[in-house]
Structure 1
Amino acid sequence: MTSLNDCRDRDAADPLAPLKNLFDLPQGMIYLDGNSLGALPRAVPARVAQVVAEQWGRDLIGSWNSAGWFDLPRRVGDRIAPLIGAGPGEVVATDTTSVNLYKVLSAALTLVEQDEAGQGQSKQGIAGSTCTPRRTVVSERSNFPTDLYIAEALCRERGWNLRLIEPHEVQTCLEPDVGVLMLTHVNYRSGAMHDMPAVTAAAHAAGVLVIWDLCHSAGAVPVDLTAADADFSVGCGYKYLNGGPGAPAFAWVHPRHVARCWQPLAGWWSHAQPFAFKPGYEPAMDITRYQCGTQPIISLSALDCALDVFTEADKLGGMAALRSKSLALTDLFIELVEAQCPGQFELITPHEHAKRGSQVSLSPKGTLPSDSAYATVQALIARGIVGDFRAGDAQQPDILRFGFTPLYLSYENVGMAVQGLQQVLVNKEYALPQFTRKQAVT
């Protein structure tokens, strides 16, 4: 079994170890929750202070031009683009994931309807020609709830159907009535990762458009939307991109689709001539048409600064190196849990590297009470080991969820985290009243 000294030796040989110094992490904390909220990059407070005191406080409205505020969503999008396999001018950092999903899903529904209308006109007069209307959006039942809520609302509004499936049904669900497949690349509960190129190819072969949510992928695992020939994508800026709570999200639309239809939130920032102030809407011909209204410049500036960390990571091997360390960290965590807490947890996250994101999810089993996940996480937090809990239901168990961000986590962190978990079990701290689900403060 790997010892703490072995972990320290691995840290000493880790070429990415200097990146941890770019973050301001609380002393004595092992932070395994970067898949919910990324840690604070050290340079961000000074950048925000400069934007507030100088750009806003001193230069006021002049900063729209002198500081380039109006172009900031596009510039930040260009910095995210290499992390998700997009080209320059193809990504915009704007709004929230939910709002961006509403935009791209609405656009996808419109494209399907437009294509059907065109096909219908071309078949007029042909005896016996029939075509099943594509009026179904397919997504996973375990997808992140906001994605499902947005899809449900749009389907109700547009007269479409929402069909929920299990992960193993993804490539067998593409029936003639399906128009759009909406998936999260890495599942927020299990950490399971889809084969994006294979799923996208299967969908396109069936005449289905694909939307990918990259909230648990961008900055954590290599993504290549262009190579996968995806249609639309959205993602957030506050998890592995470390942009801060509520950081702007991003949207990507394949260039072949950008100018084919309006997105529904036609605000002035998406206008072809936003400062002409014309009464009629003329959408921009590029990705800026997926903006809406005035953007949160301070938050965008924080995200812009946070992305400097990836510039430094590029000097040390970029996303390939980060992915290699992520897999090594998660492999080590799984190994140590199985060795030090034998028979006490079921691994929910896939063992296979190709199917795993950058997190590990466990559910209690063996002698552990099935409802002990919450209390176990709370006991760990009390020890300075921060993971998180996700409640289950009739179909899914409660889980302990741990995110592994290779930018600032060490192998020693992993070893100490599992030692802490072992002590929680040995001491039965999960049974202490201050950690029970009813009494603990979340």
Structure 2
Amino acid sequence: MTDFAATRRAFHLPQGIAYLDGNSLGPMPVAARDRVARMMAEEWSEMLIGGWNKAGWYVQPRTVGDRIARLIGAGPEQVVMGDTLSIKVFQAVSAALRLRPGRRVILSDSGNFPSDLYVADGLARAVGAELRVVAPDDVASAITDNLAVLMLTEVDYRTGRRHDMAALTARAHEVGALTVWDLAHSAGALDVDLLGADADFAVGCTYKYLNGGPGAPAFIWIHPRHADAAQPILQGWMGHDAPFAFDLDYRPAAGIERMRVGTPPVIALAALDAALDVWDGVSLSDLRARSVQLTEAFIAGTGAACPDVALNSPRDPALRGSQVSLRHPQAYAVMQALIAAGVIGDFRAPDVLRFGFAPLFNDLDDVERAVETLARVLRDGSWNDEAFHRMSAVT
């Protein structure tokens, strides 16, 4: 059994705070500060450029990727780190398109994160393809014989709705299409099984449930059957077969290494590596059970105590990720009042109160406090203070 009391102690959680925004930015692992300081003092400071070899900076994208692989149902040497999630989306979708010549349709849904849709739309325009966007419930019926790529985020960032990865991947394969899954709201929150679902490509960020810190690098995975055939449009120096030969002609590295682009963010990877230490000994089935326990308790509590909000997430936990969204016409102001009272979630336009439940550090006390505080804020109308209506740049 996973000791979630021990994993909670592994994080710096400010006193007096119920932090329910780990689906946006995870808190700092206690070990991260010392790990980064040690990297800077013992590696960058003393080794200088020698750190690329002596400290293993050059291979970090793969060694850290191997640690994430276990958490997403992937195998060794199948995941590589680097760049941002948008870049990894671009790489995965462009590579998938090139593996399906003659097909020009990319299918996604209206619950996808806008950035993924922006990337796919820009790519489609550049290569003469078409991006089709349908309602989440209509995805399966929209998978037709002309489809090249199905690009979906497994868990909807706004509602927490969870797609059936295995079923939709199987449906895409029936018509000869490939799948690209965004795991931004899955990795570190759910028992993801990419190989079991027979997915083709997957990408994700590491600053949410994986707690790698603001701006932490993204990851990309390719199923082994595609790894030596995938040809991304974005061809970078670090993805070359022999980068230090300085060949003017691009020759892709073997396997997942070809998905490297630029110089890896070594300091950020050091922080992420420390964050991944927390996962040693964590069972993904226990993680999922804990997630369901927390979200079910929150839904039951707010349903009983907060009649002024409406549930905006699936009621069935099998159809839900590790977050719960509620709707209120003044959601922004309500959330600011909650934050002022020490319960931190976030707001998503136009009217969504979003609460992320990170099993490694959230517990039932956080749930109880969040329910009680939300009920009080709604009951006494304290959310209507003018200060809570002034919108900040980041919501």
Provide, for residues 369-399 of structure 1, a one-character-per-residue CA deviation record: whole Å limited to 9, x for no partner. x2x100000000000100000012xxxxx10
**Given the alignment, which residue of 323, 333, 342 partners 1:359?**
323
- Structure 1 window deviating more from structure 2 (138-147 vs 174-183): it is 174-183
Alignment-derived partner of residue 219 in structure 1: 188
Alignment-derived partner of residue 251 in structure 2: 282
- Structure 1 window deviating more from structure 2 (271-280 vs 345-354): it is 271-280
Provide closer, same or farther for how the CA distance between residues 222 and 441 of structure 1 changes in structure 2, counting only shifts above 3 A. closer
For the 8 Å contact 1:434–1:440, the answer to whether it is kept is no
Identity of aligned residues (%): 52
Provide closer, same or farther for how the CA distance between residues 374 and 57 of structure 1 changes in structure 2, counting only shifts above 3 A. same
Provide closer, same or farther for how the CA distance between residues 441 and 300 of structure 1 changes in structure 2, counting only shifts above 3 A. closer
Alignment-derived partner of residue 127 in structure 1: none
Shift in Å, 1:261: 3.7
Letter matched to residue 377 of structure 1: M
**Given the alignment, which residue of 348, 359, 364 partners 1:411?**
364
Alignment-derived partner of residue 305 in structure 2: 340
- Root mean square deviation, CA, Å: 1.5
Provide, for residues 66-119 of structure 1, a one-character-per-residue CA deviation record: whole Å limited to 9, x for no partner. 110100000000000011111100000111110011111111111111xx4xxx
Alignment-derived partner of residue 76 in structure 1: 64
Shift in Å, 1:255: 1.2
For the 8 Å contact 1:104–1:232, the answer to whether it is kept is yes
> Tell me, which stretches of 5 or more residues in structure 1 are unaligned?
1-12, 117-133, 365-369, 393-397
Shift in Å, 1:280: 2.0
- Structure 1 window deviating more from structure 2 (262-271 vs 239-248): it is 262-271
Whole-Å Cα distance in 1 between the matches of residues 315 and 121 of structure 2?
33
Shift in Å, 1:439: 8.3
Letter matched to residue 377 of structure 2: V
> Tell me, which stretches of 5 or more residues in structure 2 are unaligned?
none
Provide closer, same or farther for how the CA distance between residues 439 and 135 of structure 1 changes in structure 2, counting only shifts above 3 A. closer
Alignment-derived partner of residue 249 in structure 1: 218
- Structure 1 window deviating more from structure 2 (277-286 vs 161-170): it is 277-286
For the 8 Å contact 2:2–2:281, the answer to whether it is kept is no
Alignment-derived partner of residue 373 in structure 1: 331
- SS of equivalent residue, structure 1 residue 70: coil
Provide closer, same or farther for how the CA distance between residues 14 and 417 of structure 1 changes in structure 2, counting only shifts above 3 A. farther
Residue 292 (structure 1) aligned with residue 261 (structure 2): yes
Provide closer, same or farther for how the CA distance between residues 52 and 210 of structure 1 changes in structure 2, counting only shifts above 3 A. same
- SS of equivalent residue, structure 1 residue 37: coil
Whole-Å Cα distance in 2 between the matches of residues 15 and 261 of structure 1?
40
- SS of equivalent residue, structure 1 residue 422: helix
Whole-Å Cα distance in 2 between the matches of residues 363 and 152 of structure 1?
29
For the 8 Å contact 2:2–2:286, the answer to whether it is kept is no
Letter matched to residue 95 of structure 2: A
For the 8 Å contact 2:189–2:358, the answer to whether it is kept is yes
Whole-Å Cα distance in 2 between the matches of residues 257 and 83 of structure 1?
21
Alignment-derived partner of residue 303 in structure 1: 272
Number of matched residues? 395
Provide closer, same or farther for how the CA distance between residues 222 and 438 of structure 1 changes in structure 2, counting only shifts above 3 A. closer
Q: Give the TM-score, by structure 2 length.
A: 0.97
- Paired residues for 1:226-265 under 5 Å: 226-265=195-234
Provide closer, same or farther for how the CA distance between residues 290 and 440 of structure 1 changes in structure 2, counting only shifts above 3 A. closer
Provide closer, same or farther for how the CA distance between residues 431 and 230 of structure 1 changes in structure 2, counting only shifts above 3 A. same
Letter matched to residue 256 of structure 1: R
Residue 37 (structure 1) aligned with residue 38 (structure 2): no
Whole-Å Cα distance in 2 between the matches of residues 28 and 357 of structure 1?
26
Q: Give the TM-score, by structure 1 length.
A: 0.87
Alignment-derived partner of residue 434 in structure 1: 387
Shift in Å, 1:278: 2.1
Moved over 3 A (4+): 437-442
Alignment-derived partner of residue 17 in structure 1: 5
Provide, for residues 121-163 of structure 1, a one-character-per-residue CA deviation record: whole Å limited to 9, x for no partner. xxxxxxxxxxxxx211110112101100000000000001111
Letter matched to residue 97 of structure 1: L
Shift in Å, 1:440: 9.9
Whole-Å Cα distance in 1 between the matches of residues 214 and 390 of structure 2?
25
Provide, for residues 16-44 of structure 1, a one-character-per-residue CA deviation record: whole Å limited to 9, x for no partner. 22211100011101100000000100000
Residue 107 (structure 1) aligned with residue 95 (structure 2): yes
- SS of equivalent residue, structure 2 residue 123: helix
Whole-Å Cα distance in 2 between the matches of residues 147 and 93 of structure 1?
18
Whole-Å Cα distance in 2 between the matches of residues 333 and 305 of structure 1?
30
Shift in Å, 1:441: 8.6
Provide, for residues 402-427 of structure 1, a one-character-per-residue CA deviation record: whole Å limited to 9, x for no partner. 00001111111110111111110111
**Given the alignment, which residue of 425, 438, 442 partners 2:378?**
425
